[in-house]
Amino acid sequence: MKPASAHTILVVDDVEPILYVFERYLQKEGYRVLTAMDGIEGLAKWEAARPDLLISDIRMPGMDGFALADAVRKRNPEQKIILMSGFTSDIESLEKQKSYGYPFFTKPVDLNATLGPVVRRVLEGASLKAG
């Protein structure tokens, strides 16, 4: 595994305060962080930077997180992806993410107890069960 400072993470969410909090936390952890406000911008930034990890909200206007994950995985089947949603009752989203096997966060995310450890495990290549 590369040192944290060598890893690049792209965070995509249409809520600016969430992007800010994730960016600051992940930078403090030693990661290079890119952000995007929607899936279309996220895909463009992903294409340009090819980050080690993509963290994306599911529900966004235009290209949602599933469409973004699909587009990225078509280009790089090995891309590490974490999805998140603020809608815990969104059964369709939960069921769909299980079929992908992506780690999944329910917002709000506990940065120290959940985000940090899961990001480290994903970047280390550890197997994670969805859900």
pLDDT in tens, 104-118: 787 888 999 989 999
What is the spatial distance between Cα 90 and Cα 51, in angstroms, rounded to a whole number? 28
4-124: what CATH class?
A: alpha beta
Q: How many CB atoms lie within 10 A of CB 50?
A: 13
Helix residue spans in the chain (DSSP H): 16-28, 39-49, 65-75, 91-100, 116-124
Q: What is the number of alpha carbons within 13 Å of residue 56 lying toward its C-beta?
A: 33
Report the length, in residues, of the chain: 131
pLDDT digit string (tens) for 52-109?
A: 999 999 889 999 988 999 999 999 999 999 988 877 655 466 565 566 667 778 788 8
Question: What is the Rg, in whole angstroms, of the alpha carbon atoms belonging to the chain?
Answer: 13
All structural domains of the chain with their residue ranges: 4-124
> For the residues 20-47, what does the mean pLDDT come to?
97
Rounded to two decimals, the pTM is 0.86
**ω into 108 cis (within 30 of 0):** yes
Secondary structure (3-state) at 81: strand
Angstrom CA distances, 85 to 6, 19, 52, 111, 124, stand at 27, 13, 21, 15, 23
Q: Nearest Cα to 3, choosing from 33, 24, 30, 25?
A: 30
**pLDDT number for residue 92:** 61
